[in-house]
């Protein structure tokens, strides 16, 4: 269903004829106004939810009462409350008599009949016959009561005297006919004796057609045995009331869902002689539940099956392989570089891209195959009856070709690609989760081999991918469980070796593997997107450490490209600085050269905002990329860090000496700070000082340490 239709369905509920609830209620009020008897509908507290004009007149409301006849008047209130229909103006003795009988019906869950006390109204004695029928809820308890009121035709009996049989029968007949739910009286074997118009309308039969049938004839064949067993228990006295949610079969085989409530009518010896059957049509509710189930099992954006339904489809496909002897293929399809599209085009356009890709994936499949969406930019395909990897690969190639068709977005043409991982079942008793996991592993393999391709996993790949997935899950928990810690490496002035700053370097103290260096987990964080949460943790912890230390100098924090391309980094930095009290000038953010070169307009705005805050920007690993150098002119860069790969050859490789000297000259010429990384020997330090380097970092001056207060070694 299109999203607009779903929203409209949420806003307005309709009955099966297409009439809105408001219109339906208005019709009910018009119908009630025309009834010859008084009718009241009360909730379990006795509050009057609905009343027709005849009820108000019989209970002694002064005439005229024009507000009772308007369909759109607010609901009447119980006696003693104010409102357009104020039953406190009615005769208290009459209202009390009605309340007494309706309360008994609510309390017992069975129909009750009786008389009110005689009351003098307009000079004449008025006696009312009252019949109340309880309406049972899902819990089997009475949730409301419908009451019929009519003038007593017999002479006034003593209070609580049972009604005259003819008069009570007439009231019961009229109550049945005007009830909004289906009501019938049946023999103990379920044969219909009397039925009301509502039940006839619900099932599509005339009254005489129903009276030629039994209750079992109108219940779905699959539910008949349960019904007969429960009726037998009701008749034998094992239960007081029978309540079932069942399917009913009407004229021409039409089906409806309904709530069936059966209550015995007992004689003076408390033996059941007949059964009162109530049927409430719940088809609209079940349709709504069906819609909710669909929404739960299907992705909101694309309408494709979501993860729970995908797993169910995999399981059913595996079950079928027991008969066919073929295999099931699960293909996970990840959109390549989708994060770049989302962050640059915006989330609404990103959703449009995903919806179109979902349509393309589904359209490329064979009949009987299933396309689903796992979340984000991850789609999945379940293929039945696959013979081998080649056949699954052919499906993957069709999916890739369909996705790669040009896509117009905001006036720009995109050609999205997907990396596909294929997992083939080997055992009909296989686990759908393991198949899905193997497909995910194969997807990582496809991405690592260049993207826009498909791949499968072998045993060694499966082991490596499993370890990588385990590491990702453990890292996700480590961020929350405070297993990360920061180590700080000093940045010094070569003259005097005074510490001018410290670079914050993250470590992971794994509960089983011990202290893990960043090279073992940062690539996983980058691939999975966890680097954003990890980077935020590092930034906050580093700023707090610097703010709590009396030592002078700044703290330098590395910022991931994924952090940079997402909006809100400058807001995050501003908040952290404000909370910690660290002056903005004491914070340096280190961005890689590749980030500076490829900075999108949004990222450039973030850099400008950070500079406006007073935070300094330093280019890390300078010289290792394809430097356009124009960013040094266009962006507010305050320093560069010469990569350690140039430092290692100082004094031994003349080419390294010349490159470092050129980079130093470039920095000095632009008036920005230059820091040389990887200084490990006194010879390197002396050479750097000789060519004008002022600041350096490396093991010669201090290794990373968990203590913030460092002095050069």
CATH number at residue 84: 3.30.450.20
Give kind and range of the element (H or E) at residue 333.
strand 327-335
Clarify whether residues 332 and 231 are in a common domain: no
Note the pLDDT of residue 4: 44
Q: What's the total number of domains in the chain?
A: 5
Closest by CA position to 484, among listed 530, 553, 528: 530
When computed from its CA atoms, the radius of gyration of the chain, rounded to whole angstroms, is 40
Burial 6-19 (b: 16+ CB within 10 A, else e): eeeeeeeeeeeeee
pLDDT at 573: 94
Rounded to whole angstroms, the Cα distance separating 670 from 672 reads 6
Measured between alpha carbons, how far apart are the two ends of the chain, in Å? Answer: 69
Same domain, 497 and 532: yes
412 with 393, same domain? Answer: yes
- Write down which residue in 457, 487, 515 finishes a domain: 457
Q: What does the alpha-carbon distance between residue 37 and residue 149 come to, in Å, rounded to a whole number?
A: 6
On whether both 254 and 385 belong to a single domain, the answer is no
- Token pair of 562 as six digits: 């994924």
Do the bridges between strand 484-493 and strand 695-696 make them parallel or antiparallel, or are there none, so unpaired? antiparallel
pLDDT at residue 541 in the model: 94
Give yes or no: residues 47 and 28 share one domain.
no
- 509 and 649 inside one domain: yes
Full DSSP string of 181-203: SEEEEE-TT-BEEEE-HHHHHHH
Does residue 651 lie within any of the structural domains? yes
pLDDT of residue 633: 72
Q: Are residues 105 and 210 in the same domain?
A: no
Q: How far apart are alpha carbons 79 and 68 in whole angstroms? A: 15
What residues contact 270, with CB distance under 8 A and at least 6 apart?
A: none
Domain boundary among the residues 297, 326, 343 is at 297
Instruction: List the chain residues with pLDDT less than 70.
Output: 1-35, 62-88, 118, 123, 125, 137-140, 152-178, 268, 284-296, 340-348, 458-462, 465, 594-602, 623-631, 709-713
Residues 290 and 404 in one domain: no
Question: Residue 592: beta bridge partners?
Answer: 620
Domain of 111 in residue numbering reads as 35-156
Maximum alpha-carbon separation in the chain: 126
Do 82 and 13 have their domain in common? no
Residue 167 lies in a domain: no
pLDDT of residue 65: 40
DSSP 566: S
CB 29 within 8 A of CB 140: no
Given the structure tokens 């002035």, which residue do they identify?
493
Is the domain of 488 the same as that of 548? yes
Look at strands 242-249 and 192-195 and give their pairing: unpaired
Residue 224 lies in a domain: yes
Query: Residue 396 is part of a domain; what is its CATH number?
Result: 3.30.70.270
Q: Which residues pair with 622 in a beta bridge?
A: 642
Residue 26: predicted pLDDT: 53
User: Could you tell me if residue 213 is inside a domain?
Assistant: yes
| Cβ neighbours around 74 below 10 Å, total | 10
Return the structure tokens found at 66.
């024009």
Q: Are 263 and 230 in contact (CB under 8 A)?
A: no
Q: Is residue 27 part of a domain?
A: yes
CA 676 to CA 663: how far, in whole Å?
Answer: 10
Last residue of a domain, one of 297, 324, 356: 297
Residue reference for tokens 């700070």: 673
Q: Which class for 622: exposed (0-12), middle (13-18), buried (19 or more C-beta within 10 A)? A: buried
Residue 79, domain member (yes or no): yes
Residues 528, 634, single domain; the answer is yes
In a domain, 709, yes or no: no
For every residue of 655-702, which 3-state class applies, written as one string?
HHHHHHHHHHHHHHHHCCEEEECCCCCHHHHHHHHHCCCCEECCCCCC
Residue (of 423, 429, 415) closest to 332 by Cα position: 423
Residue 709, both tokens: 């207060």
The region that residue 474 occupies, defined by phi over 0 for left and psi between -120 and 50 for alpha, beta otherwise, is: alpha
Order the strands of the 272-281 sheet from edge to edge.
Answer: 192-195, 182-186, 272-281, 255-266, 242-249
Per the CB < 8 A criterion, the answer to whether 538 and 576 are in contact is no
Residue 707 lies in a domain: no
Query: How do beta strands 418-424 and 554-558 pair?
Result: unpaired
DSSP structure class, residue 538: H
Query: The domain spanning residue 574 has which CATH number?
Result: 3.20.20.450
| Residues 3 and 150 grouped into a single domain | no
């Amino acid at each position: 269903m299109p999203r607009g239709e779903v929203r409209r369905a949420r806003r307005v509920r309709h009955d099966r004829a297409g009439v809105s609830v408001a219109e339906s209620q208005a019709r009910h009020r018009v119908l009630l106004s025309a009834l010859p008897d008084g009718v009241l509908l009360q909730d379990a507290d006795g509050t009057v939810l609905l009343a027709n004009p005849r009820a108000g007149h019989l209970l002694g409301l002064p005439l005229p009462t024009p507000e009772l006849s308007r369909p759109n008047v607010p609901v009447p209130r119980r006696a003693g409350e104010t409102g357009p229909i104020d039953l406190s103006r009615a005769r208290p003795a009459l209202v009390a008599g009605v309340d007494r009988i309706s309360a008994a019906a609510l309390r017992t869950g069975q129909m009750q009949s009786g008389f009110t006390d005689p009351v003098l109204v307009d000079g004449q004695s008025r006696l009312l016959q009252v019949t109340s029928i309880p309406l049972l809820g899902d819990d089997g308890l009475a949730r409301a009561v419908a009451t019929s009121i009519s003038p007593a035709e017999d002479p006034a009996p003593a209070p609580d005297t049972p009604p005259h049989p003819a008069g009570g029968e007439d009231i019961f007949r009229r109550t049945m006919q005007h009830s909004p739910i289906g009501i019938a009286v049946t023999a103990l074997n379920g044969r219909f004796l009397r039925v009301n118009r509502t039940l006839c309308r619900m099932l599509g039969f005339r009254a005489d057609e129903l009276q030629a049938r039994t209750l079992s004839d109108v219940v779905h064949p699959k539910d008949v045995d349960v019904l007969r067993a429960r009726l037998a228990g009701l008749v034998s006295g094992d239960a007081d009331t029978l309540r079932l949610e069942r399917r009913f079969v009407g004229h021409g085989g039409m089906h409806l869902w309904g709530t069936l409530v059966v209550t015995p009518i007992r004689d003076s010896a408390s033996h059941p002689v007949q059964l009162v059957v109530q049927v409430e049509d719940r088809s609209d509710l079940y349709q709504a539940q069906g819609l909710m189930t669909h929404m739960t099992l299907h992705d909101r954006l694309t309408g494709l099956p979501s993860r729970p339904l995908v797993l169910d489809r995999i399981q059913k496909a595996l079950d079928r392989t027991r008969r066919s002897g073929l295999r099931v293929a699960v293909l996970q399809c990840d959109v390549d570089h989708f994060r770049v599209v989302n962050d640059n085009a915006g989330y609404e356009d990103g959703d449009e891209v995903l919806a179109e890709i979902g349509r393309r994936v589904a359209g490329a499949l064979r009949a009987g195959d299933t396309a689903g969406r796992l979340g984000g930019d991850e789609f999945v395909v379940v293929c039945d009856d696959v013979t081998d990897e080649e056949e699954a690969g052919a499906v993957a190639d069709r999916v890739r070709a369909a996705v790669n068709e040009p896509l117009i977005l905001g006036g720009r043409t995109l050609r999205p690609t997907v990396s596909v991982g294929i997992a083939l079942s080997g055992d009909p008793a296989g686990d759908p989760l393991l198949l899905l996991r193997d497909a995910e592993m194969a997807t990582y393999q496809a991405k690592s081999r260049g993207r826009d391709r498909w791949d499968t996993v072998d045993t060694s790949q499966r082991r490596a991918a499993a370890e990588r997935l385990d590491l990702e899950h453990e890292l996700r928990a480590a961020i929350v469980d405070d297993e990360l810690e920061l180590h700080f490496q000093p940045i010094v002035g070569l003259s005097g070796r005074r510490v001018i700053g410290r670079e914050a370097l993250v470590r992971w103290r794994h509960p089983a593997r011990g202290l893990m260096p960043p090279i073992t987990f940062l690539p996983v964080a980058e691939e999975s997107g966890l680097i954003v949460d990890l980077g935020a943790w590092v930034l906050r912890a580093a700023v707090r450490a610097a703010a709590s230390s009396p030592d002078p100098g700044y703290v330098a924090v590395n910022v991931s490209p994924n952090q940079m391309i997402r909006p809100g980094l400058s807001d995050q930095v501003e908040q952290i600085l404000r909370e910690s009290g660290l002056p903005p000038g004491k914070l340096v953010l280190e961005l890689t050269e590749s980030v500076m070169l490829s900075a999108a307009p949004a990222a450039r705005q973030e850099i400008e905002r950070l500079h406006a805050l007073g935070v300094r920007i330093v280019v890390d690993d300078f010289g290792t990329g394809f430097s356009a150098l124009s960013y040094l002119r266009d962006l507010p860069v305050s320093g560069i860090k010469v990569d350690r790969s140039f430092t290692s050859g100082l004094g031994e490789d003349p080419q390294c000496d010349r490159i470092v000297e050129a980079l130093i000259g470039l920095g000095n010429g632009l008036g920005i700070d230059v820091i040389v990384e990887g200084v490990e020997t006194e010879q390197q330090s002396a050479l750097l000082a000789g060519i004008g380097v002022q600041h350096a970092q490396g093991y010669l001056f201090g290794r990373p340490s968990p203590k913030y207060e460092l002095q050069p070694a």
